Structure 1
């Protein structure tokens, strides 16, 4: 299969979030967080990341979307959830796309969003009834994000590995969003996914992104699976710890992934977002990632030349 980004083997990416670093500038008078977005974009580019994000600096993954969807107040669902009449994250994604040719747009998954809220209305008897309306509302945002120039849309569904959410309802909700856009759709699933790997591979997605450091058994669960033409986002840098792992450890993880998945379909990245890290730790993690990937790219090229 062809590399996800033409002529780039092992294109690096991020799961999304980056430490927020607001600064006082002229633009901050109108948008206090613009400088943080600009800094996150700049540092991802400086670190050599192939497919960057907007940094997701404006808040947590639940609040950013819940605060803008009619029918939700705070963490409470108080009425029928409807699409926002204003863009939620499109402005920041569009900014990133003007600074860099390869950007991923990101939305919180409908199931994860639903399970982060409290039902305070008779409109919904349970979370399962809420999820389709959230999906329909997020599909509107997704269509706007797809027009920014982003090369993929990532849906974050950390709830799926916990077993709390119904996987079939989640699949239908993801399909609602996926069919609303023409760009490739990525599903990021946190935690141990080995027990639901077949369900995830049945999702209507082009890319499946998983944690390979904290949950190394995830990689083995792909062995022998028919991945068809799917790409795999593979976490080879631990985002749960501020400790910078050695280049040898990261390299060993990457080669293990190449042995099972092949180099053409892998998008190496951190396990998860880096929002809770210090700016120094986050940048060190990204440069360790890109440094190791550059070395492995060279080794792969040398192997091809020696055939």
Structure 2
């Protein structure tokens, strides 16, 4: 099938060999257009802007290559020809050129590879496209907060004993440690972004849902959970419960976009197939 889809590759475009030539969004052309805007609007800093934008785009391409290698068996080369996918690539490049590392480059690349998957449902493509729009506006602490919501409300942990579960929780908390810096204003900001919405009925005394699968912890309310954890050296459980209280977990709930971002940020621990989230 691919053998019949040979195309000529334009100047500054990139071709991937997949039984035929598949044209990929011309990053260099996009970068040139973006830098032209810098030169027109900021002539006195055009050289500094050019160098910064170049560096940011190159860093994004390096990260995107890593994601392509990681997901090479799932990527559908035919999707590179779709206008919608080329639009997402261009929008992603513009966001990265503007904000650099602040645009959550690694998660953007993972999102794009999710959309490029052979079996990616249309619903996931739609949610991922919206997440791509939102991610550059979220700071690492905002993303960490979304992952905390996922950890508390959706994650199931399988381990041979309490100490092993405690260690897993600790590793996850270390990865999302910046969520401890989230303020009430941050929560309002994340809500305005569309990643969370206020609950109609506020949940109080929230405990991690995975504790319901642990006989020693099942049924314990927040204070009992903290007491038990302290007595048994499960300090990561205590830290998690304190974060739940501090960050008002139970006042907001994840939207589909926030849920996707939160899980994507935890994927290195969970190995979850993001495309299965909304079935």
Larger radius of gyration: 2
Q: Which bin holds the TM-score, normalised by the shorter protein?
A: under 0.3
Name whichever structure is richer in helix by fraction.
2
**TM-score when normalising by structure 2:** 0.28
Name whichever structure is richer in strand by fraction.
1
